[in-house]
Amino acid sequence: MQKNEKNPYNYQSFDEMLSSRIRLAALALLAGCDEAEFTYIRDVIQTTDGNLASHLRKLEGSGYVRYQKRFIDRKPATYYRITPQGRSALLAYSRRLTELLKNSNYQGGSSNETETDEK
């Protein structure tokens, strides 16, 4: 492979910010709605408060999400929304993953496809 040739298997071409399952799930969830409250995100992606808070801070630091604190019935609530930069990053990650799988000739299906039947 030439040095300037695009390598579909180069792991460094993936956005490291989205390599976390929690960050990827949270960003994908936010891409499908206008905004979501912290506890809703936590419950849907099934993680803990501490894990989610840590990952949302990282996404915020990268400019992928923003938040707004509000009071609902005198109780504090934090709402998150994806930014245009976050939406672009998620789309690029999706395209990159699709490209990787296409190059591997991955067709999906059962994990038993490679096993031989020895009857």
* pLDDT tens for each residue of 54-75: 999 999 999 999 999 999 899 9
% of the chain exceeding 90 in pLDDT:
65
What's the angle, vertex CA 63, arms to CA 58 and CA 69, rounded to 5? 75
In a domain, 7, yes or no: no
Min mean pLDDT across 29-33, 50-54, 63-67, 100-104 is at: 100-104
What is the domain-level CATH number for residue 53? 1.10.10.10
In a domain, 33, yes or no: yes
Looking at residue 4, its pLDDT comes to 46
In a domain, 60, yes or no: yes
In a domain, 90, yes or no: yes
The count of domains in the chain is 1
Of residues 64, 85, 84, the one with CA closest to residue 17: 64
Query: Average pLDDT over the chain, rounded to whole?
Result: 87
In a domain, 111, yes or no: no
Looking at residue 112, its pLDDT comes to 53
pTM of the full structure: 0.79
Domain that holds residue 76: 17-102
- Answer whether residue 111 shows pLDDT above 60: no
In a domain, 12, yes or no: no
User: What is the C-alpha R_g of the chain?
Assistant: 19
